[in-house]
Amino acid sequence: MTFKVIIVGGGPVGLYMAYAFERANIDYVILEQQDTVLNISGQLLFTWPQKVRLFDQIGLLADLEKVALGIHHKKRLFGDNGQVTTTGNFWDAMQNKSVL
Ligand SMILES: Cc1cc2nc3c(=O)[nH]c(=O)nc-3n(C[C@H](O)[C@H](O)[C@H](O)COP(=O)(O)OP(=O)(O)OC[C@H]3O[C@@H](n4cnc5c(N)ncnc54)[C@H](O)[C@@H]3O)c2cc1C
C-alpha cells in the first residue's frame, strides 16, 4: 500500500517530521501557509534533553554537537540598563540528572 503523509505547517516540528519521513523513504508533502519557513523571530535554537534524543534518532546529533553550546547558567535581564532580575543554575542541575 502506498500513501502520502500530509504535514500541515513548516515550523520546527513539521520540518523535523519531513526529515524523518525523507530518511524513512515515506512520501510526504508540507503545507505551509506562509511564504517562507524562515521566520526569524527567536534568538537561538534551544533544545531540551528530550529533543536532543529525537535529533539523535534521525542522525543529526553529531552535526548539531559541532555547532551547539551548552547552557549552564540563566540570567534574566530587564530594561535598558540590563538589570539582572533572576539567575539560576537549573541547567547544570539538569545536565547532572540527564539520562541521555
Ligand atoms: C516570540 C517567540 C520567541 C521564541 N524564541 C525561541 C527561541 O529563541 N528559541 C527556541 O528554541 N524557541 C523559541 N520559541 C519557541 C518556538 O518558536 C516554538 O517552540 C516552535 O516554533 C514550535 O514549533 P512548531 O513546529 O510546533 O510550531 P510553529 O513554529 O508555530 O510552526 C507551525 C507552522 O504551521 C503553520 N500553519 C499553522 N496553521 C496552518 C494551516 N492551517 N495551514 C498551513 N500552515 C499552517 C504556521 O505558519 C507555522 O509555520 C519562541 C516562540 C515565540 C512565540
Tell me the pLDDT tens digit for each residue of 39-74. 777 677 788 888 889 999 999 899 999 999 887 778
- What is the model's pLDDT at position 98? 59
Do 48 and 8 fall into the same domain? Answer: no
Atom number of ligand 1 nearest to Cα 14: 25
Has residue 39 been placed in a domain? no
Q: Are residues 90 and 48 in the same domain?
A: yes
Residue 36: predicted pLDDT:
84
- Per-residue model confidence (pLDDT) at position 71: 79
Q: Is the pLDDT of residue 27 over 70?
A: yes
Query: Per-residue pLDDT for 99 more than 60?
Result: no
User: What is the total count of domains within the chain?
Assistant: 2
Instruction: Give residue 28's domain range.
Output: 1-34
Amino acid at 69: L
In this predicted structure, the answer to whether residue 8 has a pLDDT above a threshold of 60 is: yes
Cβ proximity of 64 and 46 under 8 Å: no
**Measured between alpha carbons, how far is residue 23 from residues 11, 20, 29, 35, 90 in Å?**
18, 5, 14, 25, 35
pLDDT tens for each residue of 74-96: 888 888 888 988 888 777 777 77
Indicate if 52 and 96 belong to the same structural domain.
yes
Q: Which of 7-21, 30-44, 57-71 tops mean pLDDT?
A: 7-21
- Contact residues of ligand 1, CB 6 A cut-off: 8-14, 31-34, 41-46
**Residue 1 CA, ligand 1 centroid: distance in Å:** 33
Q: Are residues 12 and 53 in the same domain?
A: no
CA distance 61 to 83: 35
**Is a pLDDT exceeding 90 seen at residue 16?**
yes
